[in-house]
Chain A
Amino acid sequence: DAGVIQSPRHEVTEMGQEVTLRCKPISGHNSLFWYRQTMMRGLELLIYFNNNVPIDDSGMPEDRFSAKMPNASFSTLKIQPSEPRDSAVYFCASTTTGLYNEQFFGPGTRLTVL
């Protein structure tokens, strides 16, 4: 069991650049979540999908952030243009609704925007 896979693990970019984070959920899971973690704000839910459909994107900070899930095995979180305040660790998690919602987290992507 490979678990949730995220790439890249680390990303350093300059302000204004486009950043794309990738996630492969656990096979068979039908819900996928994107979180952001910072020291100041803790763990924040950005968006989640059920059966590849975005259900709640109220946590997406602003229009610079977008997320897609083109199929059951892949999702992206894009930031365009990136800003220094976007620096954080971004986690992807997946679950099967009905399994008491135990979410399985990926190792995270540490994003640094200079």
Chain B
Amino acid sequence: GDSVTQMEGPVTLSEEAFLTINCTYTATGYPSLFWYVQYPGEGLQLLLKATKADDKGSNKGFEATYRKETTSFHLEKGSVQVSDSAVYFCALSPASNTGKLIFGQGTTLQVKP
């Protein structure tokens, strides 16, 4: 079945460092891909999305490109801030479009001043 695999955390970076969180997926057809972010004590919120191959999603300085050839959707940010400390979830929506999302296990990012 469809699945999402994220790099294990926690990831600890200094402020202004470059961030990459790896995400790979297994799916039939052409799923949509998402990154969600969860700040401490809050629910998940959509960070960015890409709905077809080679699309680049971007928001708040974060970017991810839908790579079908490598089945990947890695999250990147050029310069992280302390306020980016959160848990990041990669997710896919199967091509069957049932509304259901398949989530990765989440990666905790901690940014130190």
Contacts and interface: CB of A to CB of B under 8 A. Distances in A.
Interface string A77-114: 00000000000000101010110111111111000000
Nearest to B100: A48
Contacts of A56: 100
B42 interface: yes
Interface residues on A, range: 20 to 34
B42 A107 contact: yes
Given A42-B106, A48-B100, A95-B99, A101 B32 contact: yes
A55 interface: yes
B85 interface: no
B43 A97 contact: no
A102 B34 contact: yes
Interface of A: 4, 31, 33, 42-43, 45, 48, 50, 55-56, 91, 93, 95, 97-98, 100-108
26 contacts: A33-B99, A42-B105, A42-B106, A43-B44, A43-B106, A45-B100, A48-B99, A50-B98, A56-B100, A91-B44, A93-B43, A93-B44, A95-B99, A97-B98, A98-B97, A100-B32, A100-B51, A101-B32, A101-B93, A101-B101, A102-B34, A103-B46, A104-B46, A105-B43, A105-B44, A108-B43
